[in-house]
Amino acid sequence: MTTTTNAPEYAGVREQTTPSQARTGRRPLRPGRVALYALLVSAALSALFPILWMISGSMQSLPELLKGDALLPAVPQWQNFTTAWVKGNLGVYLTNSIIYTLCAVAGILLVSSLAGYALARLDFKGKGVFTALILAVMIIPAPAMFLAQYKVLLALDLANTRQGYIFILITTGIPISTLIMRSFFASQPKDLEEAAALDGASALGTFFRIMLPLARPGLAAVAVIQAFAVWNEYLMALVIFNDNALMPVQRGLTSFVSAETPQPQILLAATLISIVPVLVFYLFAQRQIVDGISAGAIK
């Protein structure tokens, strides 16, 4: 004799879907989700509005901009960009900023990777004190060290020079970068270094051939953070430089501000040009930025 068990006719309450939802596979928009989308769109628009206003203002005439009632220019004034580039010496400022950024980031990557590896892997006397000093330097506000840094540059005869400014940029970016690289190296297994030592590799050979390639996400994160920091630096350039030919772009933008002949539309055009290199850098490096931040968050 065989028995059969019939499945229950009603095992649970299923969410009912309309024919249109079944065709599209989308869930209905609930009031809470609509409110969330509206909030996100409002936040995005509020963040984009200053940039959109800058773009619009850079293409307006001075009377139109001062009047302030036009969201879009009646007739785009493309000559504002030409004036900013030629008469404002903007090309020199941009070239200086590119030089400072490349040199400073390269120096920071070299020093911070070596220091981070030493703190993560080597045991030496005073290691804890050295780490505490790095943290202490990070706590001190940067403007509080300007006088001491400037006196050092005067003693080294590097005041008002490219080399002196790059030196200050490197020393300023090393502390936080060292801690970032230390966390990446500390997360790597020691088996790789032990295997390299058995093969006869030196400490520097192990670092440059094995450990440094593994820390590429950390290097990318440090490069991005410091590139933006160096590009946007203003206060130290204000202290060090008195020669317009050496000023970075952020310092050079102040030359467009004049009480006698105010030209805010030229300043907006120059500011818009100055963010183009940063935007291009971000577009090319956005994958490395995400990978570096994600790897750092996981580790």
Residues 253 and 232 in one domain: yes
Across 12-26, 70-84, 201-215, 256-270, least confident range: 12-26
Residues 152 and 37 in one domain: no
Task: Tell me how many domains the chain contains.
Answer: 2
What is the pTM (predicted TM-score) of this model? 0.79
Percent of the chain residues past pLDDT 70, beyond the cut: 85
**pLDDT tens digits for 47-95?**
888 888 888 888 888 888 888 777 788 888 889 899 888 887 888 999 9
Is residue 11 scored above 50 in pLDDT? no
Is residue 145 scored above 70 in pLDDT? yes
Residues 224 and 203 in one domain: yes
Percent of the chain residues past pLDDT 90, beyond the cut: 24
Across 16-20, 36-40, 67-71, 269-273, least confident range: 16-20
User: Higher confidence at residue 171 or residue 71?
Assistant: 171
Largest CA distance in the chain: 107
| CATH value at residue 198 | 1.10.3720.10
Residues 282 and 162 in one domain: yes
Residues 66 and 134 in one domain: no
Average pLDDT over the chain, rounded to whole?
82
270 touches 256 (CB < 8 A): yes
User: Domain range holding 64?
Assistant: 32-77
Give me the half-sphere count of Cα atoms (radius 13 Å) on the Cβ side of residue 16: 1
Residues 255 and 208 in one domain: yes
> Which span out of 5-14, 153-162, 199-208 was modeled with the highest average pLDDT?
153-162
Nearest residue to 116 via CA among 62, 157, 162, 175: 175
**pLDDT tens digits for 117-141?**
988 888 888 888 888 888 888 888 8
Distance CA 274, CA 231 (A): 10
Averaged pLDDT, 240-255 = 88
Q: Is residue 191 part of a domain?
A: yes
